[in-house]
Structure 1
Amino acid sequence: MLGQLTGANVGLIYPSLLPPSLSKTKSKLSPISSMSMSQDPVHEWILSEGQATKITKIRPVGGGCINLASRYDTDAGSFFVKTNRSIGPSMFEAEALGLEAMYETGTIRVPKPHKVGPLPTGGSFIVMEFIEFGASRGNQSALGRKLGEMHKAGKSNKGYGFDVNNTIGSTPQINTWSSDWIQFYGECRLGYQLKLALDQYGDKTIYEKGQRLVKSMGPLFDNVVIEPCLLHGDLWSGNISSDKNGEPVILDPACYYGHSEAEFGMSWCAGFGGSFYNSYFEVIPKQPGFEERRDLYMLYHYLNHYNLFGSGYRSSSMSIIDDYLAILKA
């Protein structure tokens, strides 16, 4: 949300939950000692497990405001590296889990994570695949189809949630597993943001009305089959690109397993067009009431923008809440 290439996904992480391709890498989660390892663990990994014999060039990559991003060119190819000098490895470990989950679906292209670790002087880093972006954001139809394929392939038998908490922008995103989507969305998504607005701004009006909506929104899901599917979670224009072949690429996720329609909550700044939705619904058929639920999923992101950036987003949030309370007669 906050950066095209360098957005942070801060969250809780548990070593046992890392995918094998990440957890088996040497010193993946163990602290890096300045006495036993190089002062630059990024160089060390690239020149060992990265299978390079020399780093030929390092150049900064712009686009974000949370982390420092760089491209490392080597004789074994290029790597994309993000570092943060103030936040520990949990931030990038959560991002790596999301990237790995999407990568393993074998559908839409995402940068494959290679290595996560702490920096000896404080902070953390992540090394991932470098993807050469094309000149445009790519084909909308292909993006819709590939995203639908990811939703169809990425399933969970644990219900709704994710193995770790992460963030949406820099706001904590609570991913505690639940078997009930309406409860999960009401508590872990809308409820969390409403409480944050109350604590941060003392906004009792939006909190109380929002809680009325949470308690009464059940009918919006009548006759809807909801299966937990893997969501990118923060799909806006800054997190969408294309590779040099024109194939869609998505990055900087805030992943969790949820209702597929929740993926479109950032559509107000994603630029999805008719060809995108037509292709998506060929893979994941549109459910009854899709249009009526769209603003409900946008509300989460409007509330988050309110909490992150201030009162400029309050009126949009309040308008959505009031409209639903009128429709639901709550």
Structure 2
Amino acid sequence: MALSLKEAGVDENAEVIPISGGDINQSYHVRSENTEYFLKWHDDPPPLFFQKEAKQLTILENVSGVHVPEVIRSGDRYLLLSWIEGSQTSTTEENLGASIAALHQEEGTYFGFAEDNFIGTMPQYNAEKKSWVEFYGAYRLLPQIEEACQRGKMPKKRRKQAFHLLDHLDQWLPEPNYPALLHGDLWAGNWMVGQEGVPYFIDPAISYGDPAYDRAMMALFGGYSSRTMDRYYMEVERPSEEASIIPIYQLYFLFAHLNMFGEMYGPSVDRILNKYSS
């Protein structure tokens, strides 16, 4: 079904400009009288797909020092947000580091999250746990490994190594000092620049856990400057085990990409599994 401005509660005479770049949704810049919006649309999304995203953006919005687009409204097939547009200034990169640090200093009462959400269009299962290592194994790695098995993406060696790592996670992952609020999908494409160079976060997949989980995604595809990271580490401690922790968290995102996009991500999965399961 085609985009329906009426369903999204937007003036049907508004100017609609398609925006390229998204792998999952159709995206539009909508100009209506003196107001501009960002409209995400999907003809057949998973149930509550956009409503859950709207809720997560609201959670992030309530953190001091963190900026997200304003949620105007959401529905079964759309999410309508305020339009964000700006140019980087001399302080944008440092402010980005400070914003990520503010996010990670927001402390929860448990590891995990109260309801399931999504990573891309794939279900991301959640629960409230006292142990982050238990949560990460059971609710992040295991579902992606099982999905890969079902999709025929787990040759014998990969499968054996993956389940071996699952059984020995506590040998590699320490328990964090507290459950930090995580964006959950913090690759460089999920922040943008608003007016006066202010950084805004988009497309969250939130939970409470180890800040290194977000840093793993930040490092996986690159795009974060030393100025950003130096400012971040002024507020957030970097554990001595960082080098061995980060690849294990990257494995989750790589398995998700393997399941969504195919075997092009298989060699990266295998490289990490070989490191911990050889």
TM-score w.r.t. structure 1 length? 0.75
Q: Structure 1 residues 211 and 88 mapped into 2: Cα distance closer, same or farther (>3 Å)?
A: closer
Cross-structure match for 2:209: 258
Q: Is the contact between residue 265 and residue 299 of structure 1 (CA under 8 Å) also seen in structure 2?
A: no
1:62 is displaced (CA, Å) by 2.6
Cross-structure match for 2:161: 209
Query: 1:191, 1:102 → 2: CA distance?
Result: 27
User: Which of residues 188, 210, 233 in structure 2 aligns to 1:281?
Assistant: 233
Corresponding pairs, count? 273
Q: Is the contact between residue 17 and residue 30 of structure 2 (CA under 8 Å) also seen in structure 1?
A: yes
1:168 is displaced (CA, Å) by 1.4
Relative to structure 2, which stretch is displaced further, 93-102 or 169-178? 169-178
Q: Structure 1 residues 202 and 220 mapped into 2: Cα distance closer, same or farther (>3 Å)?
A: closer
Identity, % of aligned positions = 26
TM-score w.r.t. structure 2 length? 0.88
Q: Does 1:309 align with 2:267?
A: no
Counterparts in 2 of 1:136-155, with a 5 A limit? Answer: 139-153=92-106, 155=107
Report the secondary structure of 1:82's partner residue: strand
1:289 is displaced (CA, Å) by 0.9
What whole-Å deviation, never above 9, does each CA across 1:138-169 have from its counterpart, x for those lacking one?
A: 8332211110111112x322x12223222212
Q: Does 1:73 align with 2:39?
A: no
Q: Is the contact between residue 88 and residue 196 of structure 2 (CA under 8 Å) also seen in structure 1?
A: no
Cross-structure match for 2:146: 195
Q: Does 1:110 align with 2:68?
A: yes
Query: 1:237, 1:320 → 2: CA distance?
Result: 22
Q: Does 1:298 align with 2:253?
A: no
Cross-structure match for 2:116: 165
1:176 is displaced (CA, Å) by 2.0
Query: 2:130, 2:220 → 1: CA distance?
Result: 29
User: Which of residues 201, 204, 220 in structure 2 aligns to 1:268?
Assistant: 220
Report the secondary structure of 2:270's partner residue: helix
Q: What CA RMSD, in Å, does the superposition of the two structures yield over aligned residues?
A: 2.4
**What is the one-letter code of the residue matched to 1:245?**
E
Q: Structure 1 residues 131 and 212 mapped into 2: Cα distance closer, same or farther (>3 Å)?
A: same
Cross-structure match for 1:23: none
Q: Does 1:226 align with 2:226?
A: no
Q: Structure 1 residues 264 and 69 mapped into 2: Cα distance closer, same or farther (>3 Å)?
A: same
1:96 is displaced (CA, Å) by 0.7
Q: Is the contact between residue 57 and residue 73 of structure 1 (CA under 8 Å) also seen in structure 2?
A: yes
**What is the one-letter code of the residue matched to 2:48?**
S
Structure 2 segments unaligned to the other structure (5+ residues)? none
Structure 1 segments unaligned to the other structure (5+ residues)? 1-37, 48-53, 119-123
Q: Does 1:63 align with 2:63?
A: no
Query: 1:137, 1:175 → 2: CA distance?
Result: 39
**What is the one-letter code of the residue matched to 1:169?**
G
Report the secondary structure of 1:73's partner residue: strand
Q: Is the contact between residue 176 and residue 209 of structure 2 (CA under 8 Å) also seen in structure 1?
A: no
Q: Is the contact between residue 132 and residue 176 of structure 2 (CA under 8 Å) also seen in structure 1?
A: no
1:135 is displaced (CA, Å) by 5.9
Q: Is the contact between residue 185 and residue 204 of structure 2 (CA under 8 Å) also seen in structure 1?
A: yes
Query: 1:137, 1:210 → 2: CA distance?
Result: 44
Q: Structure 1 residues 209 and 133 mapped into 2: Cα distance closer, same or farther (>3 Å)?
A: same
**What is the one-letter code of the residue matched to 1:93?**
Q
Q: Is the contact between residue 89 and residue 116 of structure 1 (CA under 8 Å) also seen in structure 2?
A: no
